[in-house]
Amino acid sequence: MCHLNSNTRLFLRTALHTSILLHHSLFPLYAAYTVQFMDASIRATIMKYTWAYLTYWTFGFQVTFLLLAVGCDIAEWKDYVDAVLYKKIKYWRDVTFTGLVVPFTSFVTVMFWGVYWIDRELVYPRAYDPAVPWWFNHSVHTVTFFMVVLETLLQPKKASRP
């Protein structure tokens, strides 16, 4: 995607960041709504171990990154790229992406689908099927990975300086 001009690349990045941020905002609302209709034992297990799942941590890292990325996109649209605040936000956006989002998202995606392929019951028991739709898994284990790939293609990274 190196042949795209900077305005086109900025537009595509902004569209990607806002659409994935919208996805990441609506997803927890759906999860919070549907959990109340689950079988009590499944709901208790999910609620008890929610923060133990690396998937949720990865999701949080991505939301943090996306908020910083949207802030950078807005600053670039407004041509505030020389502002001190923009440089700090850009620095933390890049650090968050390269230090947290890429490694955690890659690990979670590869491990989840790898183990799922070997023995589904280890990562997503069939007992959860009535409560958790198939697209839910793709929302947290597939869409997130494609966001990282698209971000990498649209925003060439270079070392940031504080």
Cα–Cα distance for residue pair 95/72, rounded to 1 Å: 13
Mean pLDDT confidence for 104-133: 89
Quick check: 2 pLDDT over 60?
Answer: no
What is the reported pTM?
0.84
Where do the domains of the chain lie?
6-154
Q: Per-residue pLDDT for 117 more than 90? A: yes
pLDDT at 21 over 70: yes
Average pLDDT over residues 10-28: 91
Question: Residue 45 corresponds to which tokens in the numbers above?
Answer: 């297990």
For the record, the structure tokens of 67 come out as 């908020």
And the tokens for 90? 């850009």
Q: Report the 10 Å Cβ neighbour count for 38.
A: 17
- The pLDDT tens digits of the residues spanning 26-72 come to 888 887 787 777 778 877 877 788 788 898 899 999 999 999 999 99
pLDDT at 30: 83
Instruction: Using the predicted structure, report yes or no on whether residue 149 has a pLDDT greater than 60.
Output: yes
Tell me the mean pLDDT in the region 21-28. 89
- Cα separation, 87 vs 93, in Å, equals 10
Q: How far apart are CA 24 and CA 143, in angstroms?
A: 10
Contact 154, 9 (CB under 8 A): yes
> Residue 155's pLDDT band (boundaries 50, 70, 90)?
confident
Give 47: exposed, middle or buried? Use CB within 10 Å, 0-12, 13-18, 19+: exposed
d(CA 132, CA 2): 39
Give the model's pLDDT for residue 36. Answer: 78
Residue 38: its pLDDT value, please? 74
